[in-house]
């Protein structure tokens, strides 16, 4: 049995085999797998399995669906692999989707901008910051030229470029992009949309990173409230907001308030994403940092040991283990990709 979406009560759990059978018969294979009841994307490992079914359907009936649908199915499966911490599996799928779209539409098309954005998000998550910067700037330029300055896809590109600029220490530019992205989303979607919550989270993370903690706290709180109300209390994005609130409290020495938030974030990630997901390792490292700050060294070592086991299992050739690098230094901004946030901070759309 799995709980792959925000449905609650008797609809919260479903047999994996039943979900796959239903999906194969009724779902649109060029869309990201989502629940017909709560309308949210499925999450966890089962979502990637459904994405693989979609791709196989499109490939098997290529004469019906065509190349454009194939690019969408490839892009979607890549996004789902990325969310499960498998960038090596995602990268060739993103590249193939990008190539198909350039062949169909030419270089200056919104679909190509989407693929460029998604490739950039993946490169960023793997530390290829300079290459990602070029791709993010290309995607933004295409979207503004084709869609106009106030389009939601432009807001996604602004958000993602801001995440990267924040990482480079270019804080004023990052804040300007975050603020503009937030304004577009609030104007278009209203104040209680998950995309608005993502923008609030990222702006708060920026404020936190430069020591503007009093400004960061209410933004983190607003983001968490929106996500809990709209997505449900056990959604992965809620776990991100809980983690970031805990990071802020920890940095202020408010350990007793931070600990239950870290633990709730960890519990959500383990239940929804699986015990060996890289995001679980991040939560373990953050909780270890809290224990270390309180002098609970034995508990901190055990948490770090568990994180290292996950990192070692998920690291590909030449990919460093996160625990060996460092503890998570502060609140995490989110990228926007295909159908929304990756915990790196970046936006990906399909």
Q: What is the per-residue pLDDT across 18-54, written as a single tens digit (0 to 9) for each?
A: 999 989 888 899 999 999 888 888 888 999 999 999 9
Two structure tokens written together for 63: 């004469």
- Confidence grade of residue 318 (pLDDT, cut at 50, 70, 90): very low
pLDDT tier, 330 (very low <50, low <70, confident <90, very high otherwise): low
CB 124 within 8 A of CB 343: no
DSSP-based three-state secondary structure for 42: coil
Task: Answer with the residue of higher pLDDT: 327 or 292.
Answer: 292
Q: What is the pLDDT of residue 315?
A: 61
Can you give the pLDDT at residue 327? 39
Count of residues making up the chain:
350
Residue 324 has a pLDDT of 30
DSSP line for 67-135 = HHHHHHHHHHHHHHHHHTT-HHHHHHHHHHHHHHHHHHH-SSSHHHHHHHHHHHHHHHHTT-HHHHHHH
pLDDT of residue 224: 97
Q: Is the pLDDT of residue 320 over 80?
A: no
pLDDT one-digit tens code per residue, 85-94: 899 999 999 9
d(CA 186, CA 334): 17
> Which tokens hold the place of 294?
């309180």
pLDDT at 323 over 50: no
Q: What is the largest CA-CA distance in the chain?
A: 64
83 in Cβ contact with 121 (< 8 Å):
no
Q: Which helix (H) or strand (E) holds 271?
A: helix 255-273
**C-alpha distance from residue 128 to each of 86, 122, 167 (Å):** 16, 9, 12
The token pair at 107 is: 């270089």
By percentage, how much of the chain surpasses pLDDT 70? Answer: 91
**For 47-85, what is each residue's pLDDT tens digit?**
999 999 999 999 999 999 999 999 999 999 999 999 888
Instruction: Give how far Cα 240 sits from Cα of 78, 111, 268, 349, Å.
Output: 21, 29, 10, 19
Give pLDDT, residue 260. 97
Give mean pLDDT, residues 238-265: 95
Confidence bin at 216 (pLDDT 50/70/90): very high
Res. 349: pLDDT tops 60: no
pLDDT at 313: 82
| Overall average pLDDT of the 126-134 stretch | 95
Q: Under DSSP, is residue 345 helix (H, G, I), strand (E, B) or coil?
A: coil
pLDDT of residue 228: 96
Give the distance, in angstroms, between the CA of residue 148 and the centroid of all CA atoms in the same chain: 25
Q: What is the Cβ-side half-sphere exposure of residue 139, based on CA atoms within 13 angstroms?
A: 33
Dist CA 214 CA 200 (whole Å): 14
CA contacts within 13 A on the Cβ side of 28: 9
Using CA atoms, how far apart are residues 115 and 99, in angstroms rounded to an integer? 9
Q: How far apart are CA 228 and CA 256, in angstroms?
A: 22
Please give the average per-residue pLDDT across 231-242, as a whole number.
94
pLDDT above 80 (res 242): yes
Question: DSSP readout, 247-315?
Answer: HHHHHTT-HHHHHHHHHHHHHHHHHHH-TT-HHHHHHHHHHHHHHHHTT-HHHHHHHHHHHHHHHHHH-
Residue 346 has φ and ψ, to the nearest 5°, of -110, 150
Residue 345: alpha-carbon gap to chain centroid: 6
pTM value > 0.75: yes
Residue 79, CA distances (Å) to 86, 139, 215 in order = 10, 17, 32
Residue extents of the structural domains in the chain: 1-103, 170-312+327-350
Question: Which of helix, strand or coil describes residue 19?
Answer: helix
**What is the dihedral sign for C-alpha 168, 242, 79, 274?**
positive
pLDDT in tens, 163-188: 999 999 999 999 999 999 999 999 99
Q: Domain spanning 170-312+327-350: which CATH class is it, in words? A: mainly alpha
φ, ψ for residue 335, nearest 5 deg? -85, 155
With a cut of 80, say whether residue 321 has pLDDT above it.
no
Confidence of residue 295 (pLDDT cuts 50, 70, 90): very high
Structure-token match 């239903």, residue found: 22
Question: pLDDT band at 347, cuts 50/70/90?
Answer: low
Residue 230 is predicted with a pLDDT of 94
pLDDT tens for each residue of 254-285 = 999 999 999 999 999 999 888 999 999 999 99
């Amino acid at each position: 049995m799995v709980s792959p979406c925000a449905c609650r009560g008797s609809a919260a759990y479903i047999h994996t085999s039943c979900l796959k059978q239903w999906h194969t018969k009724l779902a649109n294979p060029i869309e990201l797998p989502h629940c017909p009841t709560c309308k949210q994307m499925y999450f966890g490992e089962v979502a990637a399995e459904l994405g693989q079914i979609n791709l196989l359907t499109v490939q098997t009936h290529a004469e019906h669906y065509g190349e454009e649908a194939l690019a969408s199915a490839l892009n979607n499966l890549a996004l789902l692999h990325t969310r499960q911490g498998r960038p090596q599996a995602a990268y060739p799928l993103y590249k193939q989707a990008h190539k198909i779209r350039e062949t169909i539409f030419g270089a200056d098309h919104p679909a190509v901008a989407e693929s460029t954005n998604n490739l950039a998000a993946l490169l960023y998550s793997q530390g290829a910051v300079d290459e990602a910067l070029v791709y993010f700037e290309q995607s933004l330029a295409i979207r503004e030229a084709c869609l106009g300055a106030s389009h939601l896809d432009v807001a996604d590109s602004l958000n993602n470029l801001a995440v990267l600029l924040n990482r480079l220490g270019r804080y004023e530019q990052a804040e300007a992009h975050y603020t503009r992205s937030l304004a577009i989303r609030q104007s278009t979607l209203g104040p209680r949309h998950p995309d608005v919550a993502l923008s609030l989270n990222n702006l708060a993370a920026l404020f936190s990173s430069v020591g503007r903690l009093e400004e960061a706290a209410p933004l983190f709180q607003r983001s968490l409230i929106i996500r809990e109300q709209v997505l449900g209390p056990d959604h992965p994005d809620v776990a991100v907001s809980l983690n970031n609130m805990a990071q802020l409290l920890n940095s202020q020495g408010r350990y007793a308030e931070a600990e239950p938030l870290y633990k709730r974030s960890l519990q959500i990630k383990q239940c929804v994403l699986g015990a060996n997901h890289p995001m679980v390792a991040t939560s373990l490292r953050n909780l270890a940092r809290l224990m270390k700050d309180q002098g609970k060294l034995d508990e901190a070592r055990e948490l770090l040991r568990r994180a290292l086991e996950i990192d070692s299992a998920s690291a590909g050739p030449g990919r460093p283990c996160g625990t060996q690098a460092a503890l998570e230094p502060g609140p995490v901004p989110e990228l926007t990709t295909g159908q929304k946030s990756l915990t790196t901070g970046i936006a990906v759309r399909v």
